[in-house]
Homo-oligomer: A and B are copies of this chain.
Amino acid sequence: MNKNAAIGIFDSGIGGLTVMAEMIKALPNEEMIYFGDLARTPYGSKSKETVLKFSFEIVQFLISQGVKAIVVACNTASASALEDLRQRVSIPIIGVILPGAQKAAEVTQTKRIGVIATRSTIATGAYVKAIQSLDPQIHVISQPCPLFVPLVEEGWLNHIVTRQIAEEYLFPLKTNKIDTLILGCTHYPFLCDVIQDVMGNEVTLINSAEETARSIKEILSDAGLLCIIRHDRKHKFYVSDESTRFVELGEQFLKEKIRVITQIDLGKGNPYV
């Protein structure tokens, strides 16, 4: 495998750009290829089979672009499809669930961890399984927060309504006296101020994006696959539907300019103009 090949990253939409932002910080030399499945976003309400089908199409596309490793920067796809994807490809492929779970298991003192995510991620039980495989003594309290993604996409990050919704969703986690809370959706770090405020400062928030960036760096390093030349940072962006909001919101998520975006039809698998 070529050390100087790019790293592939994908998400159902824009949210995975928060993971890419952390990866750029942790791996400034690496070139990255991002895929956002805007035509079929979001995955959070869809079945395991459908999420696996869509994810595998994207993985095939990224491999056709010569990537050396793939980051599934979408909690729903990581929860529903990661194991199956691993069996189908030979390059390293990591998700966002295990890195977040590892960090939370490391940080908790009371062994009471909360997880907030989409309805579909929670339903897979992936966080509970991952955490309990690390330490079966840990008690995990899960809470789906379906309105958080639309609130972030609406840009209502500090709106009074967002605060009220956070209070309602987080109430069962507060009464269950967790000391660590995993933000199990790529959009949620945008609400970390509100979430921290509602939960109180004694609760540690775990941002899976940071942990995933750390984890892919370790994996590439262990496999001798870290890039050895400094790239001129020509990250590439592919989407399955045209969207002006991809650039608008995406640049906030990525904290960088998004220059060239190519739209491709996954049904055909070929880029078109």
Interface residues of chain A, those whose CB is within 8 Å of chain B, are 38-41, 45-47, 49-50, 146-147, 149-151, 153-154, 160-161, 164-165, 168, 240-243, 245, 267
Contacts and interface: CB of A to CB of B under 8 A. Distances in A.
Q: Which 10 A-B pairs have the closest CB atoms?
A: A47-B242, A150-B150, A50-B241, A40-B40, A39-B50, A47-B241, A161-B164, A46-B241, A146-B154, A161-B161
Contacts of A39: 40, 46, 50
Contacts of A242: 47, 49-50
Contacts of A240: 50
Contacts of A50: 39, 240-242
A25 B38 CA distance: 37
Contacts of A267: 267
A40 B37 CA distance: 10
Contact of A160 (B149, B164, B243): B164
B147 A154 contact: yes
A45 B245 contact: yes
A137 to B, nearest CB: 32
Contacts of A154: 146-147
Contacts of A168: 161
Contact of A41 (B45, B147, B151): B45
A77 to B, nearest CB: 14
Contact of A161 (B49, B150, B165, B245): B165
A243 B47 contact: yes
A253 to B, nearest CB: 16
Contact of A151 (B46, B147, B149, B241): B147
Nearest to A243: B47
A224 to B, nearest CB: 39
Given A41-B45, A161-B161, 19 more contacts: A38-B45, A38-B46, A39-B50, A45-B243, A45-B245, A46-B243, A47-B241, A47-B242, A47-B243, A49-B241, A50-B240, A50-B242, A146-B153, A146-B154, A147-B154, A149-B150, A150-B150, A161-B164, A161-B165
Contact of A146 (B40, B49, B150, B241): B150
